Structure formats: C-alpha cells, structure tokens
Structure 1
Amino acid sequence: MWKYCLYLLALCPHILFGQPLTLDTTFVPTFDFMTPPTPPEGYVLLEDGQGRIYLGGRLGLNGTAKGIIRMYPDGTWDQSFKVSGQWGIDGVSDLLMIGDTLLVHDDFLFPLSTSGAYLGNLFPKDKVCSVYSPMELDDGRILIGGTGCKFDSIPVPYNRLRLMRLHRDGTLDSSFVHDVNHAVMSLMRYDDTRILVYGRYITLYDSIPVNQLFRIDTAGVLDTTFHSIFTSNGHPTYVQPDGKIMIGGGFRISGHPDPLSLVRLMPDGSLDPSFHNFAGADSSWGASGVVYPLDDGGYLVGGFFDSWQGYPRGNIVKIDSSGVIDPNYFNGTGADSTSKFYPVISDIIQGQSGDFYVTGLFNRYDGRIVDPVIRLRGFQSVSNDPLLPSISATLYPNPAQDRAILTVSELPLRSVCTLVIHDAVGRECHRQALSGTRAEIDLEGWESGVYLATLETEAGALWHGKLVVGR
C-alpha cells in the first residue's frame, strides 16, 4: 500500500503540497471590490517586510473609490491601515517604502504613515506637475521623473523639471538640475552608482542626444558607455546582478522591423546574444510589462499576450535563463476578464512564504472568478511539522536529461541534510548528503519517468519535489 501511495505522490506531489505556480484557492481577499461594468484594476504590489501586502490601483472598495489597501498574507483585509487626509487617492501606480513612510504615487506623490495617516503631499495640486517612478537613493534622497514641474527658484530654461531629486522631507534639491526634453516615465536602479532613465519621446539630455533609454550616475552625469537601440517604447523591467538588463513592453529596435515583447541587453545597451530576444509574445500586439527573477535563473513574465513562443498562455509565462519558455507551467487559460477591458498582468511579487502575488486587470483566472489580486503557489513544498525548519528548493532543468541541479535556500543548522530520490514504485535511486546549497545529480543510466525527491534530516522531511527524466 505504501508503494502505491508513493507512486501517487511521485506522479502528483501537488496532492499534498500544491503544484508550483498554480492558483492557491486558500487565498481569499475579504474586501469588496467593484463589480462589472466597472471592474477593479490592480497596478502595483509591495510587501512591507512583515508579511503584509500593499495593493495599489483603482480598486473601488465597498463602493468607494480607493486606490490602496493593505492585507495579510492570506488575503484578510488589514483595516488598521486607513488612508485619511486632504486628497483622495485613486489609481495608485507606484509604491515606495522609505523607513516608516509609504510614498504613494497617484499622478502626484502622497506620503502616508504605516497606519495610512496623510503626511502632506510633496507637490500641491495647484501645480501643473505629474510625476512618475519615485526611487530612493542610498543617501535617503528621492529621485523622481515627471512631465515638467515648475519651480520659481530654478532659472529658465530649467524651471520646468522632468527629472528631480528631493530631500527626505520632500523639498526640492536645487543642486540637482538637468534638462530633459520630454517626460521621464520610469527610473530603475542599475547599480550602487548608476540609474536607468526611460521616456518614450526623450531625445536630449542636457543637450546631448539620447534615445528613449539612457543611464546616469547619482549626480545626474550621463553615462556615455551606454547606447540605446530602441526605436519605440521599450522600458527596463529588471536589472540582473551581472548588469544585464531585461526590457519589456511592445517595442521595436534598430535593424529589426518586427515588434518585440522582451529582450535582454548587455551592460553597454547592445542585445545579449545568449538570450532568445526575437521569440516572445507571438502576436504583434503582445507586450510584457513585468519580469520577476526566480531562484533557478529563469523569470516569471506578465503582461498582455495570449501565446508565447507557440504555446497558448494567458498573460503570464515562465521562461528559463536564456528566454526559452518552460512548458510545464501555466497551461490553463491564465488571467482573463469578463469585462470590456483587455486582461493584463501588471505586477508580480514574492511573499515571505515563497508564494507569488499577482495583480492586474482581470477578474478570472484559469476559468475561476477571482479578485484582481491572486496568489500562486511557490516552488517550496515544506513539512507541516512546526518543529522542523522551513526551506525552499528548486530542481532544474525539469524535465532533465543528463543531469539535474538542486538549489536550496539554506541548510538547517547542526543537522545533516540529505537528498533522497525514489522512482515511481518506491525504489531508492539516489542518496546524497548536501555540503552546500547547490548539488548536481548525474542522471546517466536513469530510465525516463517521474521521480520523487526529498530533502530530509534525522528529524524528518523538509521538502518534497518532483523530478521528470525524459530522453
């Protein structure tokens, strides 16, 4: 009987632990969103360091236009966070936590306390000044983009600023004055000393020709070693630790007439030849909007598309480190909408438990009616025993042929952690004591099939996963 149970577990470990990247139906938001024909729209997510999740967007909670709420990891509404103050906040598209202050972007900037108290907005509404993409610098000052903010203290022609640096109290740092000829829409930290700046129509920075995307240092000096290849609308979505840059959107590049949805750049701005740059969303209207890195070197990609590299995908896909789709995930209908709006996934973050929170413009996922924020199961499958440590682990590639790699988030202290693999009928095929957080498994001579991998100590099992071997 135990062999039969092990066989079922090897084939379907999600029976006990949940298939990774599938909808977690135990996540049930307890607040009332708007209903069609005016559905809610989720734009941005932020984890506060204590496990609680901020959701920004155009939400319309309980029939009232509200742009931000805070919830516990299970979706319960944290009603200790209530926005108050002079201005209504609706349509929140950026969130930035600076110490105990939550900086909220809703066309203007609104600083809130962690209880939601309004601390005074940085740009009064009598100024013609829309701002974008607030980013904290290492010294505590804040860099922001904008459509052109007018300050009488700054002389012409620089008195309508599109790239600004603020002091911690929100006042303008008048020593940072740089001229950009069109709106700055996005800022992203490149490394400790440099910043990526994007604006769809930007062609000049301090009178120097640039092309939509460029790089500056924290003093605002242009980095002339970076050269943009874009001819339309490609914005940075993630910077890798090695300096390579993921670019999303629906865009075109020099020398390639067809629209693209995801590319990876080398640090100098040229295309990364090791990445599948010309194989993303299959439709000409397809676009990626968010890229989230995974422990196995791959990415979750969300946006607006119905197929990716020939596979039907509902606005979300998993790709490997070279940009090739992983066909084992997201085989359902994905994010969809019953309203008049096109479905879009706008943000993905990972919670402290390892699960993924996803938001966007959708109200259905894999055919199930949902709120515009859902939780997908993470890759960790841990013991339910509270006395055992909780770890996460990933096996890749999966399916594998000649070898597989196991990566572990951490090893338990004062315990020997062993990887044990059984075949589908319960026979032990492999046993290996881990000496670090990465282990290689030689699959030479293994038969094709499904195997059950377990990480265990003398106290019990810490993690279970499935390994598929196929040749």
Structure 2
Amino acid sequence: MKAPGWERHRMAFVRKAALAVLGSILAGNGMSMGRPSPGDVDEAFRPVIDPFVVTATVQADHGILVALRTGGTGRNHLVRLLPNGDPDPGFEADVRGDVSSIIVLGDGGIVLGGAFRSIGGVERVFAARLHPDGALDAGFDPRVSGEGSFTGVYTTLLLPDGRFILGGIFDTVGGIERAHLARIESDGSVDPAFDPRVSADGGFASVNALVRQSDGRILVGGGFTGIDGVARTNLARLHPDGSLDPDFNPGVSGGEFGGVYAIREQPDGMILVGGIFHSVAGTARTHMARLHPDGSLDMGFDPQISGAGTVGVFTMGLQTDARLVIGGFFKAVGGIARNAMARLLPDGTIDAAFAASAYAEVAAPVVSGVLIQGDGSVVIGGRFAGVNGQPRANLALLKNDAATQNLAVTAADRIEWLRGGASPEAEGVAFDLSTDGGMIWSALGAGVRIPGGWQLTDLALPVTGSVRARARVTDGAVTSGLVETLADYALMSPPPEFTAVTLSGDGSLRMEFTAPAGETFTVLATDLLGLPRSQWMPMGPARELVPGEYEFVGSATPGLPFRFYVVRSEPRLRLRTPASRLHLPAKPATGN
C-alpha cells in the first residue's frame, strides 16, 4: 500500500512519465529500419526541457507533446515540440496543473489525466479531452473530484468501444461516488453499471496502472489491500462488468511504500508486473515479476532489480521480439550496473547489447516513461541530466535494433501485417481502407493475432485502394498511443468473361462481357498473333452499361482481315486485370 511519503516523493521528481506514440512508418513496406548501436543517444534530437518531464506524446506528424512539472498550477504544463525538438509556437493547450497520463485517440484527439484544475481558462478537474491543436473539447467533462493532497487521475485505459476507465485517487466522478476506479462513456459521463470499490487498510488506496487483456478482462495495479471487500494486495483482475475475478490473486507485497506501477500482457498471455515490491505469492521478487495467465508466479523469470532508497520499476516498453525496455529508479539489474533503465531478454536476464544508462547531477536519475516508436527507436522521459555521458535534460531519443514490418493485402478478403524485431508490441491492431488515395479512411475492423503479426479476414476489398494498419502501444502504465503504416494495393482481377459476340458480314463487331465494375477497357485487334501488343490496332474503348457489364461496338470495316481481338484494362488505373483474347474465323459469320 502506498503511503503519503511516497506520494510526496512522486510529486517531487515525477513518479510517472507517460510516453504515447502516434507515428507513421513512411519508409514503405517490407523494410528493415536498422539501429546500429542499440541504446545510443540520437544526436539529432536535442530538446531543451528544464522542468521535469511528466508526459510526452509523439504525434502523427512526428511532433511531440510534452507535459511538464513546473510547480503549482501555472501554465506550460503541456507543450508541443517539433520533430527537431524546438517548441511549436502554434500549439497552446494551457493546462494548469500536472498531467499524469495521455491517450492519443484515432482521430488525433488527446485524453489527459492528472492533477490539473483548468485548461484554457475553463474548469477541468483531473480529466479532459483536447482537440489535436490543443484546444479544449468542451463536450467532454467527467468532473472527477477527491479530498487530499494527492488526488488525481493517474492512469486511463481506452476500451475498444470508445469508453474509458479512469484510475487514481478520487472519490466521485460526475457527482457519483466512485472509489479510485470508474468507467466513463465517450462523452465523459459516468457508467453507472461499473462500480468496483478499491480500498486500503489503514491508509488510502490508489490505482496506478490499467491493462485490458486480450479476453476483455482488466488488470488493475496500484496500492490497495482489497476490492469490493475481498482481499487483494496491489494487483487484481476484473471481469468486463467490473466484478472481481475470484481466481486471480497473485498477492504482490511491497511494504509501506509498495505498489504495482506497470503491467504488460505478452502475446502468449503471460503478465509482466513492475513496481515497488519485494515478493509475489510469498516468493521473493524485487520490483519485477512475470505471472502465468492464472496469476501464479513464473519461477524462471527473476530480473533482480536493485538500488538504494525507494527502488522501483515504473514503465515497460515491450518489443515484438519479446525483449523488454524498463525504466524506473534503480542502480542494477541482475547485479549488473544500470542506472534507471535497462533492456531485458525474454527470460528476464539483462540484455548486454543495450547498455543505456541515465545520469543526474544532483539526485539519482529516474526514467519514468518508456515507449518504443514504430521504427524501434526508444523515447524516454523522467528526471535525468543525460544518457550515456551525453547531456539530455529529462527527455531523450535512443537508437535501437532493427524494426521490421510488412503490410499487405494477400487476398481480396484478407489483410496481414507482419511485425518483428524491435517493433513495439501491440495491445491491439485496427485496419482501415481508403479508395481516394488516403484522403478519407473507413474502418475495416480489428485484427486478430497470427504468428508474427496480425490479420483481418472475411473482407470484400475493392480491386485497388490503400490500407492502413494501426497498432495501439503502451508503456504498461499511464499512456497509450498509436503507430501506423500504410500500403497501396492492386488485386488481380478475374479476366473479362464474354457473354455475347456478334460479327456481321460487313465487318462490324459487337462484344458483351462482364468484369469488375468501374474499370476501363480498350479493344485491340490484329491478324498476326505474333506481333507485339504495342503494334496491335486500337479499335476503341468498351462502354460500361451497368456496373460490371460492358459492351464494345466496332465500326463497320469491310475487307479488314482482323481475326484476333484483345480486351485490355487500362494501365493508368493501376489494375492488374488479365487481357481476354478472342479468336474469330477468317470468314466471319453472324453468331453468338
């Protein structure tokens, strides 16, 4: 259970930094974006950040939203940086108070949680939604409130149906009593059907991390001793309706300042847990553990995080190759020196190839937010003076191994997105379609996992178009963002199928055929089959009578010896429709 002392410690140096990504892979499909020295500081990224970083969000245009702790309720708690790290003078959010969590929405909107009191001069307490330009969304006002010095929304979970779950230290939402956990509709109104009660013996409870599992159940981490009157220590699982899962009870113990601060579900259902704790289910585990899906401890995973003072793991960036970048307040992992950040191999041992360490000039460094971008690079935020001996105040971009991905339409009814290497592991993937070159996108649906990636089936895709895949990625704690990639495609259409052919004695020709709707066809003719297609004589375009049904009528040309005809789709449409060839007798006669 957390105590007020730890909360003061949090407010002093920023306990939690949230890093959410909305970025695009623009280098094309089937590419590998290499990082020759994993953990090295990116020399080109040099932001000037004087206050502590609370939250940073990379947007689709590669701008970065950064939430800062400036002290008190003055402005400049949320700024936007250009890709090179310079401030964007056109972004003016004016958040008065600390921001603890950020969620990037699919439409570019931004949902904030924290301890703020107003945005743009309008009262907004602890939770708000912004438009992409930073302006307040006036239609979203959950009205979260609570008593005490440490109240606020610490973590926010976006659900697939557009609703949100808020966690933190608070008493009411929308005037309705809620004990540190609430579900709200997309408009900010409270959901009356969802009301789990989080409590703590002899102190106050908090919710610090929320994760929705692939089966829809919800993992809740924080500092508490019970939910709905049933004993649960710092980690619990809820059914989608908010009722407690009676079969999941790991028992994460951490003493006076203990709690769970980060949770990640692996693709195989295993559960990674980070925080301030010393044992899980009665077995020693220092600040990091892995659980089986039923909540039992994975005995083969024991990173052994250590340090001086209040040691903890606050954030986790999971790669598709199962390696894990962690951040927190520590000095060593498995007995090997690492300041505030490290990368683990899938078995929990330290990855020596990723040797990044933060440093500070006065107090010990803290990395409280880690998120892996679409190209594999790692964004870190917190309180530090630099990384690997290079000055970087509180925000840095690190190189990484290669991130691989390939988005493809593999059939008219199927899309696949294969992702590997240092790509960020996704909690979910959504696919979209555009038929106008990316101006307007329509949702196709949510993908399902396949070996090495995601797919969506049972589609009826048009012959040509563009597809977009978006992966929702998190830091396992307080942030949720998107990485995306785009691909144009052109399906192989079936060849035109003739339904009627009439050749008159005067040489005039009429063809009727079916083909995919909306295509453009030209009829070519020759008497010498061996001639290159470029030397065949164009007879003219076919006309689409109704969608999918075409007609060609050639002018009367007595005496021409044409015996071979081709119906060809026009290449300017980027179609790959095979040509259909028609062979007529030398002495034509009328017929069908």
Task: Please tell me the TM-score bracket, short chain as reference.
Answer: 0.5 to 0.7
Identity of aligned residues (%): 25
Residue 139 of structure 1: how far off its partner (Å): 1.4
Once residues 256 and 118 of structure 1 are traced to their aligned partners in structure 2, the CA distance between those partners, rounded to angstroms, is 47
1:373 maps onto 2:395 in alignment:
yes
The AA in structure 2 aligned to 1:289 is F
**Is the CA contact (8 Å cut-off) linking 2:326 and 2:341 kept in structure 1?**
yes
Q: What SS does structure 1 have at the residue aligned with 2:220?
A: strand
**Equivalent position of 1:186 in the other structure:** 209
Q: What SS does structure 2 have at the residue aligned with 1:161?
A: coil
1:262 maps onto 2:288 in alignment:
yes
**Is the CA contact (8 Å cut-off) linking 1:306 and 1:315 kept in structure 2?**
yes
Residue 324 of structure 1: how far off its partner (Å): 0.9
2:245 to 202, 223, 235: 223
**Is the CA contact (8 Å cut-off) linking 2:217 and 2:239 kept in structure 1?**
yes
**Equivalent position of 1:318 in the other structure:** 343
1:352 maps onto 2:374 in alignment:
yes
**Is the CA contact (8 Å cut-off) linking 1:45 and 1:348 kept in structure 2?**
no
Which runs of structure 2 are paired with 1:125-274 in the superposition (5 Å)?
128=147, 130-150=152-172, 154=176, 159-181=177-199, 182-203=205-226, 205-232=227-254, 233-253=259-279, 260-274=286-300
Which runs of structure 2 are paired with 1:57-68 in the superposition (5 Å)?
57-58=68-69, 65-68=75-78
Which runs of structure 2 are paired with 1:453-468 in the superposition (5 Å)?
none
Residue 259 of structure 1: how far off its partner (Å): 6.2
Residue 74 of structure 1: how far off its partner (Å): 3.2
Residue 250 of structure 1: how far off its partner (Å): 2.3
Q: Deviations over 1:185-243 (max 9, x none)?
A: 3322222411111231232x223332221111221121122112212223433111111
**Equivalent position of 1:101 in the other structure:** 109
User: Judging changes above 3 Å, is the alpha-carbon distance between structure 1 residues 66 and 253 closer, same or farther for their aligned structure 2 residues?
Assistant: same
User: Judging changes above 3 Å, is the alpha-carbon distance between structure 1 residues 131 and 392 closer, same or farther for their aligned structure 2 residues?
Assistant: closer
**Is the CA contact (8 Å cut-off) linking 1:59 and 1:68 kept in structure 2?**
no
**Is the CA contact (8 Å cut-off) linking 1:354 and 1:392 kept in structure 2?**
no
**Is the CA contact (8 Å cut-off) linking 2:142 and 2:174 kept in structure 1?**
no
What is the TM-score with the length of structure 2 in the denominator? 0.54
**Equivalent position of 2:93 in the other structure:** 83
1:69 maps onto 2:44 in alignment:
no
Please tell me the root mean square deviation across aligned C-alpha atoms, in Å: 3.2
**Equivalent position of 2:66 in the other structure:** 55
**Is the CA contact (8 Å cut-off) linking 2:127 and 2:144 kept in structure 1?**
no
2:322 to 285, 294, 297: 297
User: Judging changes above 3 Å, is the alpha-carbon distance between structure 1 residues 255 and 269 closer, same or farther for their aligned structure 2 residues?
Assistant: closer
1:116 to 134, 137, 142: 134
Once residues 317 and 35 of structure 2 are traced to their aligned partners in structure 1, the CA distance between those partners, rounded to angstroms, is 23
Once residues 229 and 215 of structure 1 are traced to their aligned partners in structure 2, the CA distance between those partners, rounded to angstroms, is 12
Once residues 88 and 339 of structure 2 are traced to their aligned partners in structure 1, the CA distance between those partners, rounded to angstroms, is 30
Q: Deviations over 1:70-104 (max 9, x none)?
A: 234332333332114xxx43322100123342111
**Equivalent position of 1:465 in the other structure:** none
Return the structure number with greater relative CO, CA threshold 8 A, min gap 6.
Answer: 2
Once residues 145 and 198 of structure 2 are traced to their aligned partners in structure 1, the CA distance between those partners, rounded to angstroms, is 23
**Is the CA contact (8 Å cut-off) linking 1:33 and 1:59 kept in structure 2?**
no
**Is the CA contact (8 Å cut-off) linking 1:178 and 1:206 kept in structure 2?**
yes
What is the TM-score with the length of structure 1 in the denominator? 0.67
Once residues 250 and 188 of structure 1 are traced to their aligned partners in structure 2, the CA distance between those partners, rounded to angstroms, is 18
Residue 359 of structure 1: how far off its partner (Å): 0.8
Q: Deviations over 1:339-379 (max 9, x none)?
A: 3x331001111233331111111122222222211111121
Q: Deviations over 1:274-333 (max 9, x none)?
A: 3235x33365743221111123321111111122222221211121100111223216xx
Q: What SS does structure 1 have at the residue aligned with 2:171?
A: strand
Structure 1: runs of 5 or more not aligned: 1-15, 35-39, 383-390, 396-406, 411-471
Residue 244 of structure 1: how far off its partner (Å): 1.1
The AA in structure 2 aligned to 1:327 is A
Rg: which structure is higher?
Answer: 2
1:33 to 45, 49, 57: 49
Q: Which runs of 4+ in 1 moved over 4 A?
A: 123-129, 151-154, 254-259, 282-285, 391-395, 407-410
Once residues 408 and 230 of structure 1 are traced to their aligned partners in structure 2, the CA distance between those partners, rounded to angstroms, is 32
The AA in structure 2 aligned to 1:51 is H
Q: What SS does structure 2 have at the residue aligned with 1:378?
A: coil
1:42 maps onto 2:53 in alignment:
yes
**Is the CA contact (8 Å cut-off) linking 2:193 and 2:241 kept in structure 1?**
no
**Is the CA contact (8 Å cut-off) linking 2:178 and 2:195 kept in structure 1?**
no
